[in-house]
Chains A and B, each alone.
Chain A
Amino acid sequence: MRRLPAFAFLIAAVTTSSAQINLNAAGATFPYPIYSKWFSEFHKAHADIQINYQSIGSGGGIQQLKAGTVDFGASDMPLDDEKLKDMGKPIIQLPTVMGSVVPAYNVPGVSGEIKFTPEALAEIFLGHLKKWNDKALTDANPAMNLPGQDIVVVHRSDGSGTTFVWTDYLSKVSPEWKSSVGSNTSVKWPTGIGGKGNEQVAGLVRQQPGAIGYVELIYALQNNITFGSVKNAAGNFVKASLQSTSAAAASVKDMPDDFRISVTNAAGKNSYPIASFTYLLIPTQWQDQAKKNAILSFLQWMLDEGQSMVEQLNYAPLPKQVVRKEKDKLKSLQ
């Protein structure tokens, strides 16, 4: 009985000496399904590396990275210079997957695809365009019989990367939006009702006749929600899909070295205009060399095998030139 503590200590010492590397991460909720799959697949390939991810939101991830409670973070919004300085340590931001945001609607009597011009979307969300049969919408949809129903705007009430992408796009296409509302994960909406999460926005749109809201493409595809096409910078009405999302990133001529770029309203005739990257925030200086090697090997794996798993979960993979550039960046970190 008296030997029990010594025995227990011996067992503990033996089990911990197998050099298990644990990495903790936290951040965005949008890519959580794919990250979760990646981390478990990576662990199967490298049994000594275990990565834990908590999807507490982009803001939470940035906070925890700054406080040092997690090893790396994830964010839908790339950090601007002010936030990078605030972080206190050098960070690189690596895009991992792409997603899009689509305009979902519920117009009584209309089951087809409505075409939205950027100006129409901005006016709707600013509250200036109030009826479905307004000239801006009927001009773009001459074959459709849009009713005189009131437009009910539905937006996100919780802070979210989806909101950031949507407001970033609206800021680019509408100077009035840019000056009066701006782009952020949480903004001061001029009009509309708020729902918590993609689920609630979709639910509200489904139940309210005449409603229009914005949801993630993945969510819309998995739940068979009617969504419309948006006119891109080249003038074509493009419906969001995995291909048109990747096309948006591929059309970017020069990706900056720090990967901080917004691909909304991208050029290119097949690009979907409301697409974005989601980022992993990796510190460049690590105390523990083993952890640094672990994260670098994960990132390498992510760019090779990881990218082939994303389409199954309805995420758009990174375009090839972005992958190449990221691999070069990783080499510079070794």
Chain B
Amino acid sequence: MWAAEIATQRSMETDLTNPQPTLPKLELPVRARSKPTWTAERQGSRLQADNVFESLILLGALSLVAIVGLIVFELIHNSLPTLMKFGWHFFFSNTWDPVGGDFGAWAFVYGTLVSSLIALVISVPLGIAVAVFINELCPRSLRRSFSFAVELLAAIPSVIFGLWGIFVLAPLLRSYVEPFLAEYFGWTGLFSGPAYGIGMLAAGMILAIMIVPIICSISREVMLAVPQQQREGVLALGATQWEMIRIGVLRNARTGILGAIILGLGRALGETMAVTMLIGNSPDIAKSLFAPGYTMASVIANELNEAMTSLHRSALIEIGLALFIVTLIVNACARLLIWTSKRGMPARMRA
């Protein structure tokens, strides 16, 4: 009787899109629920010191939550003047006039979105390709050095990226890349206008370099969580190495890779220093990627210190509030996606 059930279930295992092999359901005894489940199971005898320790730790944990709450409260409280005066229109209006007192954040929202989009377009294929290479194709002896090099990229401070961008990337773009793009792809309208070197394209490229390590390392982890049986099964059916990677690994890891991409996006949205140094700091909306732009984080970093009027300050803090909420949502979604895809991983590799 058992054999028949197992045989039918095994025949369902050849469905290659299902990463979880089905097992026969086991009947476990239900534990008697006499205590409410939120009381921690206390082990051993307790002293006063244990209670004190537990309270201190609880206080520490709650303080972190309280800090986040306080940040939100302060942001809202300090942006009340512009919230009252401009309302929703603030995010769709294009003027930014500190002298006249007219503020509208659309140029910054646009700049943030476009620079992050350029960064994703460049870094997603690159990051996933590097992850696939390190995991599947790289000779074992070189694996550690490659992964170390990629993770080292994540450790570089963003100001250094900005400096490198100004002294190396911008002249390169100005002298070689932008004229080339203008000549062959100028018909798209995306590569027109004077080639300053710095501008939306430069900012997007530096952001791409900064988020490649994030996408790469998380994709690698997620790809490692795919069971070896998947790879072996696909190979056994006659797939080539690339087909094995595509069908056996990438397809199964796609939720986690999406999470990695969104996490990278979260970083790109909030990145300040490197972008401020390379984006040209001009709140204009232009179709061309050569034109200078402005992002939400850059305008706060640039103008908050010397903002003379309270309306100016409140406008900047409202931009900060918007950035905070967007980054919070993006990071939360990313974490959720990554968590769901790592559930199949053995516990020791999950952390």
Among the stretches B97-105, B115-123, B181-189, B241-249, the one at the interface with A is B97-105
Chain B residues within an 8 Å CB radius of A56: 305
A49 within 8 A of partner (CB): no
Shortest C-beta distance, B301 to chain A (Å), equals 8
- In A197-236, the 8 Å CB interface with B consists of 200, 203-204, 207-208
> Chain B: how many interface residues by the 8 Å CB criterion?
32
A185 within 8 A of B: yes
CB neighbours (8 Å) of B308 from chain A are: 58-59, 62, 77, 83, 159, 184-186
> Given that A183-B99, A188-B98 are known contacts, is A194 also in contact with B196, CB under 8 Å in the complex?
no
Q: Chain B residue with minimal CB distance to A153?
A: B282
**CB pair A157 B305 closer than 8 Å:** no
A193 to B306, CA, bound (A): 19
| Contact residues in B for A200 (Cβ distance below 8 Å) | 166, 277
A319 on the B face (CB < 8 A) = no
A182 with B302, Cβ < 8 A, contacts A193-B196, A194-B282 known? no
B277: chain A residues within 8 A (beta carbon)? 196, 200
Interface residue? B170 (CB, 8 A): yes
Using CB atoms, name the residue of chain A closest to B163. A203
> Which residues on the B side are within 8 Å of A62 (C-beta)?
308
Structural contact, B292 and A187, CB atoms closer than 8 A: no
Contact of B306 among A160, A194, A204 (CB under 8 A): A160
How far apart are B212's CB and chain A's nearest CB, in angstroms?
Answer: 25
What's the dominant secondary structure at chain A's contact region? loop
Pick the contact of B97: A159, A188, A196 (CB < 8 A). A188
Residue of A nearest to B299 (CB): A157
Cβ of A194: which chain B residues have Cβ within 8 Å of it? 280-282, 292, 294, 302
Judging by beta carbons under 8 Å apart, are A182 and B99 in contact? Answer: yes
Complex interface bits, A148-172 against B, C-beta within 8 A gives 1, otherwise 0: 0010100001111000000000000
Interface contact B280-A60, CB-CB below 8 Å? no
Q: In the complex where A193-B198, A208-B196 touch, is A184 in contact with B99 (Cβ < 8 A)?
A: yes
Per a CB cutoff under 8 Å, which of A184, A196, A207, A208 touches B281? A196
Considering the complex, give the chain B residue whose CB is closest to the CB of A171: B99
Residues on A with beta carbons closer than 8 Å to the beta carbon of B95:
188
- Count how many pairs of residues, one from A and one from B, have CB atoms less than 8 Å apart in the complex: 94
Question: In the bound complex, do residue A159 and residue B292 qualify as a contact, i.e. CB atoms below 8 Å apart?
Answer: no
Q: Which residue of B lies closest to A82 (CB)?
A: B309
CA distance A157 to B292 in the complex (A): 12
In the assembled complex, the CB of A71 is this many whole angstroms from the nearest CB of chain B, namely 20
B233 part of interface (Cβ distance < 8 Å):
no
Say yes or no for B266: interface residue by CB 8 A criterion. Answer: no
Asked if B306 and A60 sit within 8 Å, CB to CB, the answer is yes
Contacting residue for B307 out of A77, A150, A186, CB 8 A: A186
Q: Is B276 an interface residue (CB 8 A)?
A: yes
Is residue B19 contacting chain A, with contact meaning CB distance below 8 A? no
A159-B99 Cα distance, complex, nearest whole Å = 12
| CB within 8 Å for A159 and B305 given contacts A184-B99, A193-B282, A207-B170 | yes
**Proximity bits, A173-197, B CB within 8 Å = 1, else 0:** 0000000011111111100111110
The CA-CA distance from A89 to B170 in the complex, in Å, is 49
Determine the residue in chain B with the shortest Cβ distance to A211.
B196
How does the 8 Å CB contact mask read for B303-320 relative to A, with 1 for contact and 0 for none?
101111000110000000
Q: Is the CB of B196 within 8 A of A157?
A: no
Whether B307 lies near A159 (C-beta < 8 A) is yes
Cα A183 to Cα B306 with chains together (Å): 14
Q: Chain A residues near B301: list those with CB within 8 A.
A: 158, 196
* Closest CB in chain B relative to A246 CB, distance in Å: 26
Question: Which of A57, A59, A62, A203 has the most CB atoms of chain B within a 10 A radius of its CB?
Answer: A59
Which of B197, B294, B301, B308 has the most CB atoms of chain A within a 10 A radius of its CB? B308
| B276/A60 in contact, CB under 8 A | no
B196 touches A152 (CB 8 A): yes
Taking the closest CB of chain A, its distance from the CB of B162, in whole angstroms, is 10
Q: For the complex, what is the distance from the CA of A67 to the CA of B166, rounded to whole Å? A: 39
B305 touches A59 (CB 8 A): yes
Q: A residues 291-310 with Cβ under 8 Å of B?
A: none
Q: Are A181 and B282 in contact, with the CB atoms below 8 A? A: no
Contact residue among A57, A159, A160, A207 (Cβ-Cβ distance under 8 Å from B171): A207
Instruction: Return the contact of B99 from the options A150, A158, A187, A208 (Cβ within 8 A).
Output: A187
Q: Quote the shortest CB–CB distance from A110 to chain B (angstroms).
A: 19
Residues of A within 8 A of B (CB): 56-60, 62, 77, 83, 150, 152, 157-160, 181-189, 192-196, 200, 203-204, 207-208
Query: Which B residues fall within an 8 A CB radius of A?
Result: 95-100, 166, 170-171, 174, 194, 196-199, 276-277, 280-282, 292, 294, 298, 301-303, 305-308, 312-313
Interchain residue pairs with CB less than 8 A apart (27)? A58-B306, A58-B308, A59-B313, A83-B308, A152-B196, A157-B276, A158-B302, A158-B305, A159-B303, A184-B98, A185-B98, A185-B306, A186-B307, A186-B308, A187-B98, A188-B98, A189-B282, A193-B281, A194-B281, A194-B282, A196-B281, A196-B301, A200-B166, A203-B166, A204-B198, A207-B166, A208-B196
6 closest pairs, A vs B, by CB?
Answer: A159-B306, A194-B281, A157-B281, A57-B305, A182-B99, A193-B280
